[in-house]
Amino acid sequence: MIRIAIAGGAGRMGTALVKVAHQAKDVKLVGAIDHPASNKISNDIGEMAGLGKIGIPMTGSIEELLGTFDTLIDFSTPEATATNAAICAHRGLTMVVGTTGLVKEQLEAVRSAAHYTPICMASNFSTGVNLCFKLASITAKVLGDEVDIEISEAHHRDKVDSPSGTALALGASVTNALNRNLDDVAIYRRAGLIGERPKKAIGFSSIRAGDIVGDHTILFAGDGELVEITHRASNRLAFARGAVRAAIWLNQKSAGLYDMQDVLGLS
């Protein structure tokens, strides 16, 4: 039985993870963490997730839970994730990272931690989305330079980063397949007289509105035909199930940095 703690437990994904982890057969939920200044501290995490009381209070720091968990599932903030990675590395605790918006230094902190403990980091833990990554790579290899490629995504009004980590991962799936560098071909903003579309460009567009959980589409537009790969999430449970699946999978792995493609055998 794998003991799981959740960082970012009061957020949208955090409460979905509490629900899935509490109900999963092969894991034991032992705690959840929120910002120490949060008004959710000491609240029962089961009640917050719509499960009723389960006798586990929200805590304000990872230190309060050390010694009680084997795997940390972290959907918190970039700053907290980088700190948590160092702590997990020191303690030999496995880690699932779903936090997005990490800058270079924070990503490096996670990569460094993975030298000492198994870590699975992904922009999206949905099985369907990860299948889309694979399909996007295959489509790019087949269609190559014959098409224009555009990626669009939509999320709830409170999402703070743009484009989404999943949209960027779709772009990386394509550029890796085509031996391009995403930083060289990505276009994130269009306004005014922008001129002709560069042949190898990949355009990104984002919508922030309402309570949209997450919609992603990658479009391959050629002369006379168009191919679209779309994934729409109606709730966050699919992401939470994938993260718990990754936590279980990590239990038998050696130190290293993995992603959901590894977990699903798609890499």
Q: How many CB atoms lie within 10 A of CB 145?
A: 11
Quote the CA–CA distance of 257 and 267 in Å, as a whole number. 13
Out of 155, 156, 199, 231, the active site residue is 155
Q: How many CB atoms lie within 10 A of CB 195?
A: 6
Out of 35, 134, 156, 159, the active site residue is 159
Q: Rg for the chain (alpha carbons), in Å? A: 19
Residue bearing tokens 């989305």: 129
Please check whether residue 13 is in contact with residue 239, taking contact to mean a CB–CB distance below 8 angstroms: yes
Quote the CA–CA distance of 90 and 173 in Å, as a whole number. 32
Q: Which string of b and e fits 97-113 if b means at least 16 CB within 10 Å?
A: bbbbebeeebbebbeeb
Report the phi/psi class of residue 179: left, alpha or beta, with left for phi > 0 and alpha for psi in -120 to 50: left
SS3 assignment, position 6? strand
Q: Is 90 one of the annotated active-site residues of the chain?
A: no
CA 161 to chain centre: 12
Please check whether residue 166 is in contact with residue 125, taking contact to mean a CB–CB distance below 8 angstroms: no
Q: Is 199 one of the annotated active-site residues of the chain?
A: no
Residue bearing tokens 């902190």: 109
Positions annotated as catalytic residues are: 155, 159
